[in-house]
Structure 1
Amino acid sequence: MSKDKKVAFYTLGCKLNFSETSTIARSFKDEGFQKVDFSEKADIYVINTCSVTENADKRFKSIVKQAQKVNEDAFVIAVGCYAQLKPEELADVDGVDMVLGATEKFKITDYINDLTKHEFAEIHSCEIQDADFYVGAYSFGDRTRAFLKVQDGCDYKCTYCTIPLARGISRSDKLENVLKNAAEISAKGIKEIVLTGVNIGDYGKGEFGNKKHEHTFLDLVRALDEVDGIERLRISSIEPNLLKNETIDFVSQSKTFVPHFHIPLQSGSNDILKLMRRRYQRELYVDRVTQIKEVMPNACIGVDVIVGFPGETEEQFLETYRFLSDLDISYLHVFAYSERDNTLAAEMQGEVALKVRKKRSKMLRGLSAKKRRAFYESQINTSHTVLFESENKEGFIHGFTENYVKVKTHWNPDLVNTLHQIELKKIDEDGLVRFEYVDSSVLA
């Protein structure tokens, strides 16, 4: 059946989803399918869903319509977090033919016996307790960097979050398998690897609910630093209570790990952090930021923050605003709280009006722009290494320095996926940074 059949993919959500989509795509290729762009005519469209925000839920329907416009007879499959949490809801969307849950998505080609569209969509979804085994994944081919999955699931019980319901218990890849995947990625000529997972600082827990840590996150970081051929390693989002000083110190001396951290805060109010059931208070967060800046003054630090959590007063929001304003961070990812089914927060008193959530989001996004600008300005006339991306955007090529400053120069295809030593010179009108080459030769 796969002979001459085409398949296309669309990914919503996080870096972890991108790594898993890429792995699922390789399973189709192994079965003889040809992968095409989502905008092209395909026989099968696979949509990897997210359910972190209400907006991701809504976008799913528009993406299905997008696929149907290209080929109304195509077979549409939904996988991912939303597919695990609300399979019936997705199955009811006009045009959807199959919905696969948390464990079934990795065996997707086993479920495709024929591509005949039926009146009702098929659902294959496990109980989330059955998602107790680990499936490795990594992305490549679509970007100049690869997302390498090292961990899945979460044992935390944050009151606003559905991820444990969508992905199951915390479990990790074996260290030797992570190293093997990293070596494979490096062999393909990819210059940067981003470590990803649901709660990567919890790395080390085995399959089947085994809570014993065979290796720690620090063990993982140290081992990856020794893999030949990797130019850059970047740590994605990591909980502040799991980012230990030993890891920060190691990164500061590392050959390949870059000075860039993304650390979820969620609120600058200790009272709200308690309601969220976060495992730290703001004082610990200050300690982590202080430690990073002490050993890596030019480090970039990104922060996740949620506004409008149930019970958040104006004073508690301003407490968060002032806390972030005073903190030596580089940018914010701001989320307006959205109610999620089967979470404790959805049942809490003190609902914050939507217009207030939007106003608070706007204020913090404005603060983020100021923080990013100040960070970029602090880097002017300093030397860095840039890795150029693959897109031609209106005649310009973009790249990121090791400490996540976004730079631009006139499009030159020879620069794609190459590293260069540069000196940052000025911030352009669009907020990106212009530079001069310190050495015009390619570093890698």
Structure 2
Amino acid sequence: MIDTSAFQGKRAAYFTLGCKLNFSETSTFGKMLHDMGVTTAQKGERADLCLINTCSVTEVADHKCRQAIHRLVRQNPGAFVVVTGCYAQLKPQTVSEIEGVSLVLGANEKAQLIQFLSEKWGEVLGGADISVPDGLDEKTKSGEDHYFVQKTKDIKSFAPSCSRGNRTRYFLKVQDGCDYFCTYCTIPYARGFSRNPTIASLVEQAEQAAAEGGKEIVLTGVNIGDFGKTTGESFVDLVKALDGVKGISRYRISSLEPDLMSDELIDYCAQSRAFMPHYHIPLQSGSDMILKLMHRHYDRQLFADKIHRIKEVTPEAFIGVDVMVGCRGETPECFEETFEFLQSLDVTQLHVFPYSERPGTSALSIPYVVSDQDKRERSRRLLELSDQKTENFYRQFIGTTAEVLFEKAPRGKAMHGFTKNYVRVELPAAEAREEYDNQLMTVRLGDFNHDHSALRVTLK
């Protein structure tokens, strides 16, 4: 039993970098601390506790993590500063040596955040002397005993997360870790091997979200199509089970590897009650040679087949695609293959990422290096292509009616929301009402707003 008396009335500040999964986890940490009596520090208030959930997908991400840590330490003198997440897992000693950092928790240990805080922060506050959580090997204790990180092969725990935070939609963590070990990626080293909870436990979390008034849930994870490695279940079985949860009107799948996207799943989502016509599929490269160098698990033909299948059964589907530019080995000819391939596909939006060298990855052995200037130019071209595709997709729906889930907006500002197929809409401030927040409403879609980020709508 944890004595929470020492934490009553304390204030916490949170900062998250990286993916939706990180944001979901941070929100869950915040809820857990709130239940212990810790409130969220408001703007201008000094926090007693700072929690930073880090990313390490690129060198830029690492730099942003260090900046965020320094900033929170500076803004909250004397605070107990906890750093977790991917950067903490990969560089624990580096993080622990940053002035002001009190505790560093790796991917395995963040599941036991409250226990660690009860001991380490509790000591500072004069709380009860509680032993280090069971199962923590002495070898993971290092330096001055304030960073705890298991080796990747020993990461076994799964930290559940289904949280809304300040957002309208909930984020349900269904899977963690990855077994793919692509040549450019550090995520398997930062989050460990693929693992997941049971379908029954996830259905229970979705039911709780519905009881709290949630209407939309995004399924998050590292490689969610790999769901079932731990429990012997399957991702399509999870989708079918969640589709039956009463009260949840919408589900979105955050990202799904093309080789794990079965025709059964595509066909089921096309006729399901609540799974939206919205897909996010990582391609990374449209060159088969580069896909092999990356150790991806598919070729361009398989990817194209999946896109065609989706559009065959769900013509209105929004399809976002991840593309990496400038990776080692990507000659000008390989990039042109990617560009032409993406031009030919009926996809909606490109998420473009310049390749970043990551220490310890096998991609560093590939000899051909792309200059930063070429990376920028290739990114520019793909982003222009993305803008064209997104605008063309939006234009199809001007003049039609659609159901929109509206999101809370500051008083006097326009409200925004999304259609089932992820078209972003804008309701003018003059028509916006607080009671529309988190409500499903029918609208008529008009033309683009001033910056082409959404379609203006009127209520039906």
| Aligned counterpart in structure 2 of residue 291 of structure 1, from 309, 316, 321 | 309
Aligned to 1:282: 300
Deviation at 1:321, TM superposition (A): 0.8
Q: 1:185 aligns with which of 188, 191, 209?
A: 209
How far off is 1:417 after superposition? 0.9
**Partner of 1:128 in structure 2?**
152
2:86 paired residue number? 81
CA distance in 2, matches of 1:357, 1:121: 42
**Does structure 1 residue 137 correspond to structure 2 residue 161?**
yes
2:457 corresponding residue in structure 1: 435
Q: Which moved more, 1:56-65 or 1:334-343?
A: 56-65
Structure 1 length normalisation: TM-score?
A: 0.93
Question: Amino acid of the residue matched to residue 128 of structure 1?
Answer: T
CA 1:268–1:192 in structure 2 vs 1: closer, same or farther (change >3 Å)?
Answer: same
Which position in structure 2 is the counterpart of 1:171? Answer: 195
User: 1:4-403 counterparts in 2 under 5 A?
Assistant: 4-37=9-42, 40-111=45-116, 112-115=121-124, 122-206=146-230, 214-392=232-410, 395-403=413-421
Partner residue in 2 for 1:420? 441
| Equivalent position SS for 1:48 | strand
Which residue type is aligned with residue 167 of structure 2? R
Q: Is the 8 A contact 1:99 1:121 kept in 2?
A: no
Structure 1 stretches of 5 or more lacking a match?
Answer: 207-212, 439-444
Separation in 2 of the partners of 1:181 and 1:325?
40
Q: Which residue identity does 2:211 align to in structure 1?
A: A
Match of 1:404, SS? coil
Give TM-score, length-normalised by structure 2.
0.90
Distance 1:36 1:271, change over 3 A: same
CA distance in 1 between partners of 2:162 and 2:42 (Å): 19
Superposed CA deviations along residues 49-90 of structure 1, whole A, max 9, x for unmatched, are 011122211111222233234322212111001100111121
Secondary structure of the equivalent of 1:114? Answer: helix
Query: What do the CA deviations read for 1:282-323 (whole angstroms, capped 9, x no partner)?
Result: 001111111111111110000000000101011111111111
1:121 offset after TM fit, Å? 8.1
Amino acid at match of 1:369: D
With over 3 angstroms needed to count, the CA separation of the structure-2 counterparts of 1:39 and 1:124, relative to structure 1, is: farther
Q: Is the deviation greater in 35-44 or in 141-150?
A: 35-44
Deviation of 1:354 (Å)? 1.3
- Deviation for aligned residue 1:38: 7.0
Q: Distance in 2 between matches of 1:21 and 1:387?
A: 24
> What is the CA–CA distance in structure 2 between the aligned matches of 1:420 and 1:385, rounded to whole Å?
5
Structure-2 change in CA distance of 1:267 and 1:388 (3 Å): same
Q: Identity, % of aligned pairs?
A: 47
Q: What CA distance in whole angstroms lies between the structure 2 residues aligned with 1:421 and 1:125?
A: 49
Aligned equivalents of 1:79 and 1:115: distance in 2? Answer: 19
Q: One-letter code of the match for 1:113?
A: G
Deviation of residue 47 (structure 1)?
A: 0.4
Instruction: Give yes or no for contact 1:96–1:121 (8 Å, CA) kept in 2.
Output: no
Provide the C-alpha distance between the structure 1 equivalents of 2:106 and 2:285, rounded to a whole number of angstroms. Answer: 32
Q: Distance in 2 between matches of 1:189 and 1:171?
A: 29
In 2, Cα distance between equivalents of 1:51 and 1:61: 11
SS in 1 for 2:259: coil
One-letter identity of the residue aligned with 1:236 = S
Name 1:442's counterpart in structure 2.
none
Cα offset, 1:27, TM superposition: 2.4
Q: CA deviation at 1:358?
A: 1.4
Give the CA deviation at 1:336.
Answer: 0.3
1:122-144: CA deviation from partner (whole Å, max 9, x where unpaired): 21111122212322111223110
Q: Is the 8 A contact 2:177 2:188 kept in 1?
A: yes
CA distance in 2, matches of 1:387, 1:266: 31
Q: Secondary structure at the match of 2:391?
A: helix
2:137 corresponding residue in structure 1: none
CA contact (8 A) 1:6 1:44 kept: yes
Q: How many angstroms does 1:382 deviate by? A: 2.3
Question: 5+ unaligned residues in a row in structure 2: which ranges?
Answer: 1-5, 126-142
For residues 436 and 198 of structure 1, the distance between their equivalents in structure 2, rounded to whole angstroms, comes to 38
Give 1:115 shift.
3.9
The answer to whether the 8 Å contact 2:403/2:443 transfers is: yes
Shift of 1:235: 0.7
**Cα deviation digits, residues 228-263 of structure 1 (max 9, x gap):** 110101111000011111111111101111000000
Per the TM alignment, residue 344 of structure 1 is displaced from its structure 2 partner at its CA by 0.4
Q: Structure 1 residue 39: deviation in Å?
A: 6.0
User: Which amino acid counterpart does residue 202 of structure 1 have in structure 2?
Assistant: D
